[in-house]
Structure 1
């Protein structure tokens, strides 16, 4: 099928093979009905950077007296907004999506569906078009946590074609660590320790979205769960580190689109030396890449230059290490990828819970030429990821589930985050939370 990444440079590209995740789903009996819109090469938070135009959020409140056609146009979130919108509109039962810094959880929250970003290396990335290799994850969107789990169980297998895949022995150790966690889903919420990180309520968080989050925490506590405040102090540096690392990796990955090996060729104009390789590259990429992709390539290339490497890229990697250490310090389940000492069985938390986004779905631009939502500064669009990127930097499983409606009548999501390899625990907790009143 055509695989364009919503980019002009791949407008005519047809994939020569299926990704492993597609093969697994088809072998299990799933029927692939089409591909969905996204931000170009996955670079965006609002699904407005696409050659096909923005994805319109299909959410419609059951009690709304207006038809969907006359409701205000709001973003479905990005970058995997097309997948979330397809699920929310009932066009499919489940949808595959990729998550680099929140590209599954943001759309899930905005559209009122369930979205899972698995642990890094658990689901095969073979056949996935790369954005940032150390962050990209394939995940699942669906209307219920049960449907997400059904698809995840099919995809949760080792793939020797994927060099980043976690090997079977590592998966086994993670499963054994979960079994020693002293919480059983069959007991319901009793004995479950849920951490609420104080840094996940920043100044940018709209107060109108907090009511559903508070209501969920109250319901969890009333049903036997222990709500424990925790601190993840490196969180405030995570967003900056994420954009340095992801842009640096993107600048490397985008180098293959030169109009010769990959990408649509654009002939240099008359009077230009057409035999000069740099001219071919320059005119092809200028015409083929959209503004956001160009912006991130420039940022990433600068971060990798000799003058900036130590001050930006290496510093961002140090921050990433601190973010991971924060998570390992608060979870009761040890991270089997590192030789970190495990906490006593009665210390630490099983999962974390926090708002998925800082607001409900933003309004879409009024005209096709606008690329910013609600006349916000371009930098504000990057802040949408502030609550999702820490789990991505640490490679942890995270699932956004609907928590109810904000004061403006649009969906609000909360995220369940677990230790690496605790994907099943995250799914079980998310399923229990989704059954609470108001969700």
Structure 2
């Protein structure tokens, strides 16, 4: 299919799936067609800027763009136009990609089902009954419904991978610091990671090749020297004729849907039949990972979102109370959603003098234990941590389910408690705490001869820190194995 035909098809799907509420803002269709025509001429004359030249790519609405508003799906930023563009968007434009719009999300990235949005809930677009996951739900369903070729999201505790699992797309969270966060509106700085969603591993690799790299504007961006060290460490991993895949016993939680567990087991059998080794490993600290995440992330959020007071930054209250000490509270109360307020309150408490030692400090210690557990099972060391050493008997990668359950119906979420919703992240959070590269790959349930509920089952492949290319290359092999391609 030519670029022009692909663009027209995406615009058509944008109309067909408008009810999915994937986008909060589309780029003008005339501009998209004109940009696609120019890109098509470049490609036909051998002057293609990159493999993604002329491709439609959507951007999650917590990533700054100069041509479109950036609202984080929050009334506090309604109508906000960023004066600068994020590094990731600059790189995509320079490579010829066409930014087709901004995608819907849970407000400020806080949620697991893309329902906590001032722009309304996102849905699967097939009657609107199923969750798309969160918080990058708009980015995921935009790809799944072919409204764009690929999309950029953010992953703090599973916000790319959970939507990928629910929508049958490929979702990649790189190692922390691989892709610049400059221009990404912060939720939790030490966890926020820019990532990619598309319909194949190959497409993800092409976007990653463009967007990765050191950025002086991002203090958390890995330097070129560090990237070289990571590449050298990856090349020095134990050489074996086949892969050694680890299965963490702690990930086999009771909450996993029996059908998902069966698919996981049968996928592992396929891995074995392809000549690879599957071994059981233990990551004991991961049992504490979910509770640790929901101490650390809200703590950072409470600090990051303090600026949205409606006076110095963000929209003011529509009906402000001018009495002493209530002006800020009124604006935040009117413009921030319930889940955001809940996490700000939780984070403020854990950072308070009376709770800091028992909550925040202890959570940081558990986070280090989670990182050390991962380091202990991988065959290559984490070169950023002196305590990490090479383990000749270690595994190359881990393979687990991405989500413990199938996508729930949106109507059922009304009966969810916050804790139940947080539990959907139980299998994605551990790798986020350790900053590891992870990719969620969809399975074809009919391949396994199973009668499954509507939706998709994602399996996630987890690698050692900085081992992103190896994770992606292996994911391509696994994709073929699972889809019989």
What is the TM-score when the length of structure 1 is the normalising length? 0.91
- Is the CA contact (8 Å cut-off) linking 1:267 and 1:280 kept in structure 2? no
1:218 is aligned to 2:269: yes
- Taking the aligned partners of 1:373 and 1:84, their CA distance within structure 2 comes to 19
Determine helix, strand or coil for the equivalent of 1:238: helix
- Taking the aligned partners of 1:127 and 1:344, their CA distance within structure 2 comes to 38
Aligned length: 412
Within-5 A mapping of 1:396-435: 396-405=436-445, 407-435=452-480
1:295 is aligned to 2:342: yes
- Taking the aligned partners of 1:363 and 1:183, their CA distance within structure 2 comes to 46
Within-5 A mapping of 1:32-111: 32-58=99-125, 68-69=126-127, 73-111=129-167
- Is the CA contact (8 Å cut-off) linking 2:106 and 2:135 kept in structure 1? yes
CA drift of 1:106 comes to 0.2
1:250 is aligned to 2:301: yes
1:312 is aligned to 2:364: no
Gaps of 5+ in 2: 1-67, 446-450
- Is the CA contact (8 Å cut-off) linking 2:372 and 2:388 kept in structure 1? no
Residue 430 (structure 2) aligns with: 390
Determine helix, strand or coil for the equivalent of 1:415: strand
Residue 64 (structure 1) aligns with: none
Q: Deviations over 1:52-85 (max 9, x none)?
A: 1111124xxxxxxxxx34xx61000000000000
- Taking the aligned partners of 1:248 and 1:428, their CA distance within structure 2 comes to 36
Show structure 1 runs of 4+ deviating over 4 A: none
Residue 221 (structure 2) aligns with: 165
- Taking the aligned partners of 1:49 and 1:171, their CA distance within structure 2 comes to 37
Q: Deviations over 1:224-278 (max 9, x none)?
A: 1110110000011000000100000000000010112211111555xx435x4x3
What is the TM-score when the length of structure 2 is the normalising length? 0.83
CA drift of 1:375 comes to 2.3
Residue 329 (structure 2) aligns with: 282
- Taking the aligned partners of 1:341 and 1:141, their CA distance within structure 2 comes to 31
- Taking the aligned partners of 1:161 and 1:121, their CA distance within structure 2 comes to 12
- Is the CA contact (8 Å cut-off) linking 1:101 and 1:392 kept in structure 2? yes
Cα separation, partners in 2 of 1:362 and 1:13, compared to 1, 3 Å: same
1:266 is aligned to 2:311: no
Q: Deviations over 1:149-205 (max 9, x none)?
A: 000011111001101111111110110011111458xxxxx5111101011111111
- Taking the aligned partners of 2:452 and 2:267, their CA distance within structure 1 comes to 16
Match of 1:18 among 73, 85, 93: 85
Match of 1:229 among 257, 280, 291: 280
1:336 is aligned to 2:383: yes
Q: Deviations over 1:344-395 (max 9, x none)?
A: 43x1001111000010111102xxxxxx616233311000000000000001
Determine helix, strand or coil for the equivalent of 2:352: coil
- Is the CA contact (8 Å cut-off) linking 1:6 and 1:41 kept in structure 2? yes
1:380 is aligned to 2:427: no
- Taking the aligned partners of 2:308 and 2:249, their CA distance within structure 1 comes to 42
1:360 is aligned to 2:406: yes
- Is the CA contact (8 Å cut-off) linking 1:84 and 1:108 kept in structure 2? yes
- Taking the aligned partners of 1:42 and 1:317, their CA distance within structure 2 comes to 22
- Taking the aligned partners of 1:290 and 1:344, their CA distance within structure 2 comes to 47
Structure with larger RCO (C-alpha < 8 A, sep 6+): 1
- Is the CA contact (8 Å cut-off) linking 1:193 and 1:227 kept in structure 2? yes
1:9 is aligned to 2:9: no
Q: Deviations over 1:5-52 (max 9, x none)?
A: 000111121111110000001101111000000000000001110011
- Is the CA contact (8 Å cut-off) linking 1:183 and 1:192 kept in structure 2? no
Determine helix, strand or coil for the equivalent of 2:162: helix
